[in-house]
């Protein structure tokens, strides 16, 4: 199936600038932006710059960009990951409605998990 941008896909519209988004980072293969309904402050979505509904549909060169970008953004978030009482993060990627995927354009969620104290600062 084609991985050209899809006219009726909400994340393709974001890629084309037809729907506004808060851009965090961008490479040749991916676009990263803030989730509109964040689970935590700094909840980021990383998407390939091609239309593919599920992970197994994404061409390898696009797929290969997603985790290095996730790693870069984790570092940019400056979470206190390495201390025992420090913060953490979740990396989630849902495929299929039964697995809680509601936008049919592959996306990686990067969700900071901060301590309560950090959250109040």
Q: How far apart are CA 104 and CA 11, in angstroms?
A: 8
Q: Which of residues 71-110 bind Zn ion (CB under 5 A)?
A: 105
Query: Is 51 an annotated catalytic residue?
Result: no
Q: How far apart are CA 21 and CA 23, in angstroms?
A: 6
Which uninterrupted H or E stretch holds 116?
A: helix 116-120
Question: Radius of gyration over alpha carbons of the chain, in Å?
Answer: 15
Q: Which is nearer to ligand 5GP, 37 or 121 (CB)?
A: 37
Q: Which residues bind ligand 5GP (CB under 6 A)?
A: 10, 19, 21, 33-37, 45, 94, 100-103
Residue sitting closest to Zn ion (CB): 9
- Contact between 9 and Zn ion by CB under 5 A: the answer reads yes
Catalytic residues: 107
């Amino acid at each position: 199936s084609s991985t050209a941008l899809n006219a009726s896909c909400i994340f393709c519209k974001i890629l084309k600038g037809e729907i506004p988004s808060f851009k965090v980072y961008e490479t040749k293969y991916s676009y990263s932006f803030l989730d509109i309904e964040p689970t935590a402050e700094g909840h980021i979505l990383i998407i390939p710059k091609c239309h593919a509904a599920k992970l197994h549909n994404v061409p390898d060169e696009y797929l290969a960009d997603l985790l290095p970008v996730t790693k870069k953004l984790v570092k940019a978030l400056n979470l206190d990951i390495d201390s025992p009482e420090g913060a953490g993060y979740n990396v989630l990627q849902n495929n299929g409605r039964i697995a809680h995927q509601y936008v049919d354009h592959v996306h990686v969620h990067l969700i900071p998990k901060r301590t309560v104290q950090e959250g109040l600062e």
